[in-house]
């Protein structure tokens, strides 16, 4: 039974129930305790944080170390400081946005459309979100001012085109295109880009190969889409172990990136998008096996087995899957698969930060309702005591000896 309905029944019984005063008092106290827990989002968040800390510790032995970087690799050229789970989990905010929106921009071939339909399925399974696709946008939606030769300037497209298209109930908006992307200013290309501050991102299929040539393009698309969505939800690049959040400057690095997180980033993924770790890994392993990505499937199967053996599945007290989404944790940054570039908004922007929204503080309301629930019970107890004292007094007044 949902917690709000339990609260309502306790309140009604405490106020109007026909049970004994003791039962009514118990109902009122139950209401007070439950309302206090429900009014404080930190209560389930603290419990979930502790569970994810245990999951992270249990999975650390499965982490695969990264090889030394070669010249031209992302780790050889990038000095970004990773954001570990402990820091990410300190920056949460209550939020009920549970829809990830996808947006196609430009013309896509039928094989590319088929790949993107599979990406849609995987994103829903990975993030336990409702994934919806917005109506496609034509090439003409990208202004000539946002183009660099035959490429699109990814930061400008994200800011000018996508930022205003994020629906109010959307946790993020991820666009995809078959057109090559660039950051400009000497960059040859970029596989994808995300703007965590505005919860929008874009990635391209342009350099991933022929969609009809096997599963390689699908795998590259999955790594990029999951990676960019992670950035939009607050995760940073990872250099702790082999992980889907590893950066990649070229296809060799991208192909070496596993379709699985390291132990620390698994905790981060489940923090920003809560899910049962066993069911999460088992479902994704099944999807990967269907698509012939057996190696990635085995790694996630091992994750599920390790969490199951440690008895760290979804706890019974877990309330729902919508109580937390991360704050903006990478200030004014655009993070992409290969690069971390600082991108300030255009000077004429008057956009207010969507991430400043906050949940209603229900603590005072719960306290007031609890007082209203307890008041009649306390008054009833006092009335009973008063009647008992009156009866005792009457017995004393009429308690003389019988006449002889």
Q: State the pTM of this model.
A: 0.71
Question: pLDDT at position 131, please?
Answer: 94
Residues that are catalytic = 228
Question: pLDDT at position 274, please?
Answer: 84
Residue 333 CA: distances (Å) to CA of 149, 152, 237, 273: 25, 19, 12, 21
The counts of H helices and E strands in the chain are: 13, 12
Which own/partner contact pairs does 279-287 have at CB distance under 8 Å and 24+ positions apart?
279/313, 279/314, 280/125, 280/126, 280/128, 280/304, 281/307, 283/125, 284/122, 284/125, 284/126, 287/121, 287/122, 287/125
Q: State which residues of the chain have pLDDT below 50.
A: 1-2, 38-41, 93-94, 317, 319-364, 399-404
Question: pLDDT at position 81, please?
Answer: 81
Beta bridge partner(s), residue 203? 176, 192
Contact predicate 200/194, CB 8 Å: yes
- Compute the Cα dihedral for 202, 295, 243, 78 and give only its sign: negative
Closest CA to 144 of 157, 133, 162, 155: 157
Question: pLDDT at position 26, please?
Answer: 61
Beta bridge partner(s), residue 193? 202, 336
Question: pLDDT at position 228, please?
Answer: 95
Cα distance between residue 156 and residue 381, in whole Å:
68
């Amino acid at each position: 039974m949902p917690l709000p309905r339990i609260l309502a029944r306790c309140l009604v019984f405490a106020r109007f129930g026909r049970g004994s005063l003791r039962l009514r008092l118990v109902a009122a106290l139950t209401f007070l305790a439950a309302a206090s827990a429900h009014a404080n989002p930190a209560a389930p968040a603290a419990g979930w944080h502790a569970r994810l800390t245990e999951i992270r510790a249990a999975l650390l032995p499965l982490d695969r170390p990264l090889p030394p970087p070669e010249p031209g690799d992302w780790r050889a050229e990038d000095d970004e400081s990773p954001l570990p789970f402990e820091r990410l989990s300190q920056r949460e905010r209550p939020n009920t946005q549970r829809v990830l929106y996808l947006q196609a921009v430009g013309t896509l071939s039928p094989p590319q459309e088929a790949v993107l339909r599979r990406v849609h399925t995987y994103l829903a399974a990975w993030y336990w979100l409702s994934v919806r696709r917005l109506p496609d946008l034509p090439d003409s939606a990208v202004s000539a001012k946002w183009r660099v030769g035959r490429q699109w300037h990814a930061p400008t497209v994200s800011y000018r085109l996508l930022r205003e298209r994020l629906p109010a109930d959307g946790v993020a908006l991820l666009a995809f295109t078959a057109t090559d992307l660039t950051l400009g200013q000497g960059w040859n290309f970029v596989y994808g880009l995300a703007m965590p501050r505005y919860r929008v991102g874009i990635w391209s299929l342009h350099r991933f190969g022929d969609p009809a040539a096997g599963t390689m393009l699908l795998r590259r698309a999955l790594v990029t889409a999951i990676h960019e969505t992670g950035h939009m939800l607050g995760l940073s690049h990872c250099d702790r172990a082999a992980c889907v959040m590893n950066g990649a400057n070229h296809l060799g690095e991208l192909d070496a990136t596993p379709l699985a997180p390291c132990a620390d980033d698994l905790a981060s993924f489940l923090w920003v998008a809560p899910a049962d770790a066993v069911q999460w890994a088992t479902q994704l392993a099944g999807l990967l096996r269907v698509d012939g990505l057996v190696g990635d499937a085995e790694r996630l199967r091992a994750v599920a087995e390790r969490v199951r053996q440690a008895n760290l599945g979804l706890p019974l007290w877990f309330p729902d899957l919508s109580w937390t989404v991360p704050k903006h944790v990478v200030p004014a940054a655009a993070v992409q698969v290969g690069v971390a570039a600082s991108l300030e908004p255009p000077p004429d922007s008057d956009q207010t930060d969507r991430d400043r929204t906050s949940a209603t503080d229900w603590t005072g309301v719960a306290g007031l309702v609890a007082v209203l629930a307890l008041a009649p019970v306390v008054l009833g107890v006092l009335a009973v005591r008063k009647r008992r004292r009156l009866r005792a007094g009457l017995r004393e007044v009429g308690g003389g000896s019988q006449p002889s």
